[in-house]
Chains A and B, each alone.
Chain A
Amino acid sequence: MKKRLLLLSFFTASVLAASAQDTTKSDPPLIISGSVDTYYKYDFSKHSNIPTSFASDQNSISIGMIDLGLKKKVGKAAFVGELSFGPRGQYQSVPNGDGAALNANNSFHIQNLYVSYDVTDKFNLTGGYMATFMGYEVISPVGNFNYSTSYLFTNGPFQNPGFKATYAFASTVSLMAGIFNDTWNAYNSAGKMNTFGAQLMVSPVKGWTAYLNVLSGEVSGTEFDLTTSYQITDAFKLGLNAADFKPAAVVGTGGFTGVALYPQIAVSKDVTLGLRGEYFKTKNGTYLTAGPAPGSSVVAGTLTANIKAGPLTLIPEFRFDNTKDVNDGFTTSSGLATKKASQILVAAVYAF
């Protein structure tokens, strides 16, 4: 009896101590956040056709990843370390540790690993291995509305290791400029740090943010990107992503260009419906994309719902892609070339 009471006392005291921390204003000692995701996909051709970065498995309950982010800030200095485990968090989004393409067992699991320092309230310096600043969609399923990914995301950079400086002129305007490794999506450079990157953020009106991005280097090529979203009303949000990429001369000719529109409407407190309409073109040249053949294009429509139950989001999705040419890679269930591909999926994402 006595032991139980003592145990109860300790438990009560610990709960009180924890709740007391809630009301302090100091930074938490260590912030842990992340997500887990799982999905089921069915392509109507009975095999995977659409080259989405994740949700790759056909007719299977499959896992995405468990994503664990750690952040600590003391005074002006901070670090972020983000680890991921699972197909989405390993070979589908981060390079293998030794750089060997077939060595999928040798992952460092690292999505973000960087340190930063606030020189002033407006000026920040950051260096390390960072998620790319380009594009609308991200690797974490928590940061995306749609579960399958756009062609622009799949063909753009995922990570850019480097060093960057960000200056906030005001809460509505900031400029980032940095020098990054010569290649995308690699933990180390191929010998040079000669990719220049910059991002201009403007917020012309309340609820509207726009990012003008550029990334250019002798090996990585040059990509211009516009990413913007506008919360027009409490219920309606409109997003847009447009990009143009030209590979470096040593890599090839051509590149890609595309635009995606993301209208989303909240139909209730817990349910939001969204559409992604995308046009993506592979330019004439020798550079190959995860998409249509050089000179051809694809139009893709994705209808997605986000149904929230606390930290859990259920994501049913229907996607239909239509290529310009019959020989752009899609095949029917009997293996014949076709212009059309469609799939349904249901994903569950838990964020913490």
Chain B
Amino acid sequence: MPYLYNMKKIFFSLVCLFCVQVVSAQKDSLAFDEGNNYIYYRVIDKPALNADTLYKRAWAFAAAFNRLAKPAKGQVENTLNTSGKLLVYTGVSLMRKEGGEISYTLNIQTKEDRYRYRISNFVFKPYQRDRFGNMVPIPGVEVPLEKMEVKYGKKYTDNYLDQVAAFSINAYAKLKIAMDKLPATVKTEPVKKISTQNW
């Protein structure tokens, strides 16, 4: 009987692990917009805060999120845009290396009691190894994320889509903290102390 009990636990663990695997397919968080381009899009209610307050917080977030690019006001009122790039990797574990970089545009718009956040315009720049052993962009080669599957196949594309989605989710989490004006939580681990006096 204990044997069967252990087997049940192992089966349960496996089911949990596979559930985690399914959840980790983060590319499903991305959607297509009206122009059939990949987008990560969220509308968030923020009751009791006016558009200007939300906009100021959004601006502070965008300026801190990518210090290399200054946010720019959008054409529509209370809209801002910023851009940046993220590194994407191929392979796993020791064989993991930079496969390229993906540029993006981040857009935030605020209204009374709500704001919306979107990341879009994803463009992939593949890397190659140079003569010095560094991974560097191939000059002049840029592929919109939507056309990647045609050029690089489904396996590579899905891997990069997962990384883009993970980046977008992470940025969204940071934005929420900034908009809520919550201080970033720092996880402190208790220091393990022992007494060497009594033994």
- Residues in A lying within 8 Å of B, measured CB to CB: 1-2, 5-6, 8-9, 12-13, 15-16, 18-23, 25, 28, 30-33, 69, 71, 80, 82, 112, 114, 130-133, 138-140, 142-143, 203, 206-209, 229-231, 234, 237, 269, 351-352
Contacts and interface: CB of A to CB of B under 8 A. Distances in A.
A82 B7 contact: no
A9 B17 contact: yes
A19 B22 CA distance: 12
B92 to A, nearest CB: 4
A230 B140 contact: yes
A182 to B, nearest CB: 21
Interface string B87-99: 1010011111110
B10 A5 contact: yes
Given A19-B24, A231-B140, A269-B150, A131 B131 contact: yes
Interface of B: 3, 6-7, 10-11, 13-14, 17-18, 20-21, 24, 26, 86-87, 89, 92-98, 128-135, 138-141, 150-151, 159, 162-163, 166-167
Contact of A28 (B18, B89, B130): B89
B163 A23 contact: yes
Given A1-B7, A9-B13, A143 B130 contact: yes
A28, A32, A207, A231: residue with the most chain B Cβ atoms closer than 10 Å: A28
Nearest to A269: B151
Given A5-B14, A16-B17, A206-B140, A21 B132 contact: no
A18 B94 CA distance: 10
A82 B133 contact: yes
Given A23-B162, A69-B133, 11 more contacts: A2-B3, A15-B21, A19-B21, A22-B96, A22-B159, A31-B97, A31-B98, A32-B94, A114-B132, A140-B129, A234-B141
Contacts of A22: 89, 92, 96, 159, 162-163
B7 A2 contact: yes
A207 B132 contact: no
Q: Does more than half of chain A's interface fall in helix, strand or loop, or is it mixed?
A: mixed
14 contacts: A8-B14, A13-B17, A15-B21, A16-B17, A22-B159, A25-B86, A131-B131, A133-B131, A138-B131, A139-B131, A140-B131, A203-B139, A231-B138, A269-B151
Nearest to A233: B140
A207 B94 contact: no
A208 B139 contact: yes
Contacts of B133: 33, 69, 71, 80, 82, 112
Contacts, number: 109
A327 to B, nearest CB: 35
B129 A33 contact: yes
A79 to B, nearest CB: 10
Contact of B87 (A20, A25, A209, A351): A25
Contacts of B98: 31
A19 B92 contact: yes
Given A21-B93, A22-B159, A22-B163, A12 B14 contact: yes
A208 B97 contact: no
B132 to A, nearest CB: 6
Nearest to A135: B131
Given A32-B94, A33-B129, A16 B24 contact: yes
B6, B17, B134, B163: residue with the most chain A Cβ atoms closer than 10 Å: B134
Contacts of A9: 10, 13-14, 17
Nearest to B166: A23
A6 B14 CA distance: 9
Contacts of B95: 32, 352
Nearest to A30: B94
Given A71-B134, A112-B132, A2 B10 contact: yes
B131, B139, B167: residue with the most chain A Cβ atoms closer than 10 Å: B131
B139 A80 contact: no
